[in-house]
Amino acid sequence: MNASPLKPQVHGIFDKATWTVTYVVHNGSGTAAAIIDSVLDYDPKSGRTRTDSADKVIDYVKTLDLKVQWILETHAHADHLSAAPYLKKKLGGKIGIGDQITRVQKVFKGIFNLEPEFRLDGSQFDALLKDGEAFPIGELSAKVMAVPGHTPACVAYQVGDAVFVGDTLFMPDVGTARCDFPGGDARALYASTRKLLSLPPQTRLFMCHDYPPNNRPVAFETTVAEQRARNIHVHDGISEAAFVEMRSQRDATLEMPVLILPAVQINIRAGEMPPKEANGTAYVKIPINAL
């Protein structure tokens, strides 16, 4: 059964290891699809990758005979590696990210002292998407919304009545994303959350992560109305100043994500591994006392 282009079908696949949700958005069996925020499994103890998570996405796509046109990232994730190149090889599609990724590349090229050939123009990705830009996913239409704060390059994707919010809002009982990574900005995140919450009340919002408190089951879909009424960090009535104070205090207590060092080095390359060294192995670096 096909949905309406104004109310597309959204399938979320939750990755327990990184609390990340990968989405497939489409308009029914046999139609075009986009994959948003895929996960390449990575074991930091052994440095080995696996594709169990991405293979679940592939199974879903094949079961519904979907034609993947886009493999989208909401930002350069710090908590998981992207499976975009693997999915592109298996399913096709173009890898897209917000055009401000170039700013993130510049910061991390410096921090990791990357090879001189590492390009700062975003050309590792197939498409750099601008704020307000619209692009088709078959009969669906997607629109890019810049939502900086967690990183300077964060975007959300609006497809019909569904918005994939990236790391901005979390479920109402969890709140919002942290803003203390390089280039993060709590004031900017507040503005981005207001931008999302100014959409029509019944807009479906799909979270990039869920960290369920109090043993509640994992959930990753909510609405603008629900967030405005109940989000513990940004419900209606919370001022920018109060939010920034809360966010800064809370961020000061958070540890770095386990996978931030490998994740960032790989995700700013559109999910590709760093160039192999002379012995045929690719490495990621650990900067000492730099982050």
Smallest gap from Cβ 58 to Fe ion, in A, equals 23
Residue owning tokens 């919304």: 145
* Among 64-72, 74-82, 98-106, 240-248, the segment contacting Fe ion (CB under 5 A): 74-82
Pick 142 or 153: Cβ nearer Fe ion? 153
C-alpha 211/C-alpha 133 separation (Å) is: 31
Pick 77 or 233: Cβ nearer Fe ion? 77
Pick 41 or 167: Cβ nearer Fe ion? 167
* Among 48-56, 72-80, 108-116, 245-253, the segment contacting Fe ion (CB under 5 A): 72-80
Phi, psi of 30 (to 5 degrees): 80, 0
Smallest gap from Cβ 209 to Fe ion, in A, equals 8
C-alpha 137/C-alpha 113 separation (Å) is: 37
CA distances from 266 to 70, 83, 224, 246, 259 (A): 19, 10, 33, 31, 11
E-strand ranges in 102-244 read 127-129, 134-137, 140-146, 155-159, 162-164, 204-206, 221-223
Closest CB to Fe ion: residue number: 167
Pick 114 or 165: Cβ nearer Fe ion? 165
The phi-psi region of residue 251 (left if phi > 0; otherwise alpha if psi is between -120 and 50; otherwise beta) is alpha
Report how many residues bind Fe ion under the rule CB under 5 A: 2
Pick 77 or 88: Cβ nearer Fe ion? 77
Using CB under 5 A as the binding rule, the residues of this chain from 151 to 180 that contact Fe ion are 167
Contacting positions for Fe ion (CB under 5 A): 77, 167
